[in-house]
Amino acid sequence: MSDIAALKAEKQALIEKMAEMQQQFIDYEHEHGVSGKDYWGAKEGLLANYRDAYMTMANRVVDLAHEIVGSSRL
């Protein structure tokens, strides 16, 4: 597998995981409701690290996209 192919595979895996996380969030919200306090300050459960984990993955997807096409993020 080439470096570009490996980067694309990593990017696709992250996108799939992010879509799965979004669906879990939607399901959780429908079942329990989500307050701002839950979303921003949850210490346990699905929402405990949701925002940070999702943001880390989203930033990695952007970085991978730039790396794949040879551009830089400024």
Distance (Å, whole) CA 1 – CA 22: 30
Q: Report pLDDT for 2.
A: 76
For residue range 28-62, list pLDDT tens digits in order: 999 999 999 888 989 999 999 999 999 999 999 99
How many domains, the chain?
1
Residue 74 lies in a domain: no
Q: What pTM was computed for the model? A: 0.86
Q: What's the first-to-final CA gap in the chain, in angstroms?
A: 29
pLDDT, mean of residues 12-26: 97
Residues 6+ apart with CB under 8 A from 58: 18
pLDDT at 12 over 70: yes
Residue 22 lies in a domain: yes
- Model confidence at 1, pLDDT cuts 50, 70, 90, reads low
Could you list the residue range(s) of the whole structural domain that residue 41 is in?
A: 3-69
Residue 12 lies in a domain: yes
